[in-house]
Structure 1
Amino acid sequence: MLLLVPVDPLRPRHPDAHFAPEAHAARDAGVEVAVVDHDALARGDDVPRAVSRVTGEGVAVYRGWMLRSERYAAFADALARRGVALRTTGEQYRRAHELPGWYPGLAELTPRSAWTVGTRRADFDRARHALGGGAAVLRDFTKSMKHHWHEAAFIPDLDDGEAAWRVASRFVELRGDDLVGGLVLRRFERFTGAEVRSWWVDGVCVLVGAHPDSPHDTPPEAFDAGLVSGSVAALGLPFVTVDLALRADGGWRIVELGDGQVSDRPSTIEPAVMVDVLRHGVG
């Protein structure tokens, strides 16, 4: 297995500081590590140069900052021309990274959702009516603005179209050019306690831990990833994270599914443990 991590912009031969612990642990475990230029990949202006330090052949796993799906696909194509195959294809990355890709397979296990393609008011209103009245949480295909909860995330009543659109407009303003896909409305559900982040390789849960936002809140002993295993496995995705939270009525719900390559590791999970996760099914 080859591990790819972003390069440190100030030290071109070194891994980005955020991913350096995993890179060092991988090398200690005998895994080859190479750096890629994330900034160039994100811009899409010189992808061959961005992967120019990647040598060798075989299967690679990326651990780095998020990339838009089209940028990831270009990344995968550039590596393929060098004889390196990302274990997660461009199509698989899009299905894991963007909510419309994974939602249909997990609809019974996650808050009901409706979305637009683009940010037109008329399309937003159609999604709002499709979801029905009540409270909702707004996001785009990949991210919410939860740190701007009341102004750009939480909609108290979908029946109040003007108030809902004010939240959506502020969300669009704050996301700017980073907005992906369209506007997603998610039925608001009341959760208790911290989220749990689980890591899945080829449909099998290989690690359960805290969420990066609350790294010291360990999952409760009663947590059982088997509750969602059949549905996650059926997605056919090679490496994903599934974030779950306990709803007020006592049921576990999927809050988010993401591509494992760009999902953050909580500080309470040792880098060597993450390397073991990466090596599952690859060697």
Structure 2
Amino acid sequence: MRLLYPCDPFNSKLPDEEYREEFDAAIASGLACSLFSLEDFQGGEFKPRPKFDEAEVVAYRGWMLDIDDYSRLSAAMIDAGAKPLVNAVEYQRCHHLPGWYQVCVEWTPETVFVDQDINFTIELAKLNWPAYFVKDYVKSLTTSRGSIAKNAEEVTELVALIKQYRGKIEGGICIRRFESLQPDTEERYFVLRGTPYGRDGTVPDLVRRIAAAVDSPFFSVDTVLSADGHLRLIELGDGQVSDRKLWPAENFARMLAQSGI
């Protein structure tokens, strides 16, 4: 099993600064690691260093990729003689909210999926929720404006801002029913080959149930406490492109090593 990290754009022998601590921890844990130039890959060239062993399983750990780019990376791994830990279908399943919503609907806010160009006044009249959380299939707005809307005009404003700051709408628009949540209670877990892991070694029952429900070899689970104290699922993500958040690099590398990755 091998981990594939993006290299520093100016020094192909070093991992990208964002992943350097994790790369070093992975090496210290005895994990095989390779580097590649993300810029060269986007230009049509893929040269992992060291090269992959024949039929070796490879997990990408790097910057978020859209579905087309990940499909190309997965194909490039195969062409280089490896087997991606996560195939393109599995990547989309956890990277796009509609891919996991139905199997997790009982644990997460009610959501509808719409095209960015619909009439939001008509759509919101069908829902009549007190407030709405707006994002595209992958991410919400991370500026100080936040992602909460109270009416169609504010939803339209948020969609325009997502497009402005992210450059595009990925997939479509998710309109989620607003729920009151306790601040500073968000926690990230990882599920690797069906086994859930927490940064401090503990895993709540909800995360175990999600791990059993979602068909993907490596994904992240974000939970938060509701205002009335119930644990809620806020987001799933592909584990390869999910940052560690509060996970120490050593704990993350230990999880990968213990799982046999």
User: TM-score over 0.5 for the alignment?
Assistant: yes
How does 1:120-269 map onto structure 2 within 5 Å?
A: 120-122=117-119, 124-125=120-121, 127-150=123-146, 153-156=147-150, 160-177=151-168, 179-194=169-184, 195-208=186-199, 225-266=204-245, 268-269=246-247
Tell me the CA shift for residue 200 of structure 1: 1.2
The 8 Å contact of residues 141 and 161 in structure 2, kept in 1 or not, is answered as: no
Point out which structure has higher relative CO (alpha carbons under 8 A, 6+ apart): 2
Tell me the CA shift for residue 250 of structure 1: 1.0
Q: Percent identity?
A: 30
Tell me the CA shift for residue 130 of structure 1: 4.5
Q: Against the structure 1 CA distance between its residues 112 and 10, is the aligned structure 2 distance closer, same or farther, given a 3 Å change threshold?
A: same
Q: Against the structure 1 CA distance between its residues 52 and 202, is the aligned structure 2 distance closer, same or farther, given a 3 Å change threshold?
A: closer
Which whole-Å CA distance do the structure 2 matches of 1:254 and 1:167 have between them? 22
Q: Against the structure 1 CA distance between its residues 24 and 60, is the aligned structure 2 distance closer, same or farther, given a 3 Å change threshold?
A: same
The 8 Å contact of residues 199 and 248 in structure 2, kept in 1 or not, is answered as: no
Report the aligned-residue RMSD. 2.2
The 8 Å contact of residues 3 and 58 in structure 2, kept in 1 or not, is answered as: yes
The 8 Å contact of residues 192 and 247 in structure 1, kept in 2 or not, is answered as: yes
Q: How many pairs were matched up?
A: 258
Q: Does residue 56 of structure 1 match 2:45?
A: no
Which whole-Å CA distance do the structure 2 matches of 1:163 and 1:251 have between them? 28
Tell me the CA shift for residue 176 of structure 1: 2.2
Which whole-Å CA distance do the structure 1 matches of 2:162 and 2:247 have between them? 32
The 8 Å contact of residues 199 and 239 in structure 1, kept in 2 or not, is answered as: yes
Segments of structure 2 that go 5 or more residues without pairing to the other structure are: none
Which whole-Å CA distance do the structure 2 matches of 1:264 and 1:69 have between them? 18
Tell me the CA shift for residue 26 of structure 1: 1.9
The 8 Å contact of residues 137 and 173 in structure 2, kept in 1 or not, is answered as: yes
Segments of structure 1 that go 5 or more residues without pairing to the other structure are: 210-218
Which whole-Å CA distance do the structure 2 matches of 1:237 and 1:280 have between them? 18
Query: Tell me, what secondary structure is at the counterpart of 2:17?
Result: coil
Per-residue CA distance 1:103-159 (angstroms, 9 max, x = gap): 111111011111124x2133x456434433320111000000132435xx2102xxx
